[in-house]
């Protein structure tokens, strides 16, 4: 089985800083918006492409050779984009980057005082692991329920549940690993503008 190391793709909505350049609204996360070890070097696992913008090379059956099975690609963090739901993402595993068929995996950052847009994911479940900071998720038909997640917490959002994440901190971004059963990540995003002015009372 062979392993290829590739850069994330250039996305239509992307803001694409060079690897190692901090995103203007993100905290410093080693290997994400900080220096990446081994950039531009050849390793026994394959070539590390250290910063060149390249078209994605999807995984495909038999790509490693007739008897080696499918590739196991590695995506180097560094490319960012702003999702429709108002968050800053670091592109990771998806249909666009590696040809994933049933999931996506990215990093998401909510800046201090930041607030997403009310939305849901039609037909797809979401799970997060908070790396740093804390965030509040308002959820439910009128966004009147809430839960606070902090560094070290896992967070699950069922398919089709309206939600709105926000960061109440004045000085610390919230950074989390996000996984979803939608391999295209943005495809299942349904914005809910009618909930944007909903009262956010505790419930």
Query: What are the φ and ψ backbone dihedral angles of 165, each rounded to 5 degrees?
Result: -85, 145
Query: What are the φ and ψ backbone dihedral angles of 55, each rounded to 5 degrees?
Result: -70, 145
Please enumerate in sequence order all residues whose Cβ is within 8 A of that of 174, keeping only pairs 6 or more positions apart, or say none.
109, 110, 130, 132, 133, 134, 135, 167
Block means of pLDDT (10 residues each) for the chain, 203 residues, are 49 40 43 43 36 43 65 90 88 93 95 95 96 97 96 97 95 96 87 80 45
Please enumerate in sequence order all residues whose Cβ is within 8 A of that of 1, keeping only pairs 6 or more positions apart, or say none.
64, 68, 69, 70, 71, 72
Q: Please name each of the domains of the chain with its CATH number.
A: 5-195 (2.60.120.10)
């Amino acid at each position: 089985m062979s392993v290829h190391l590739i850069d994330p793709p250039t996305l239509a909505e992307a803001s694409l800083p060079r690897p190692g350049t901090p995103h203007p609204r993100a905290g410093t996360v080693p290997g994400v918006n900080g220096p990446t070890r081994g950039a531009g070097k050849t390793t026994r696992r394959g070539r590390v492409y250290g910063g060149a913008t390249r078209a994605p090379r999807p995984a495909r059956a038999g790509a490693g050779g007739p008897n080696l099975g499918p590739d196991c690609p590695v995506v180097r963090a560094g490319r960012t984009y702003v999702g429709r739901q108002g968050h800053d993402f670091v592109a990771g595993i998806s249909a666009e980057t590696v040809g994933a068929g049933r999931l996506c995996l990215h990093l998401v950052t909510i800046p201090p005082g930041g607030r997403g847009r009310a939305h849901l994911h039609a037909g797809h479940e979401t799970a997060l692991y908070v790396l740093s900071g804390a965030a509040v998720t308002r959820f439910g038909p009128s966004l009147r329920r809430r839960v606070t997640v902090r560094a070290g917490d896992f967070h699950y959002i069922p398919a089709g549940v309206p939600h709105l994440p926000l960061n109440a901190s004045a000085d610390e971004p919230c950074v989390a690993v996000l996984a979803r059963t939608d391999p295209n990540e943005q495809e299942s995003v349904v914005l809910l503008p009618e909930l944007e002015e909903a009262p956010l009372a505790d419930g």
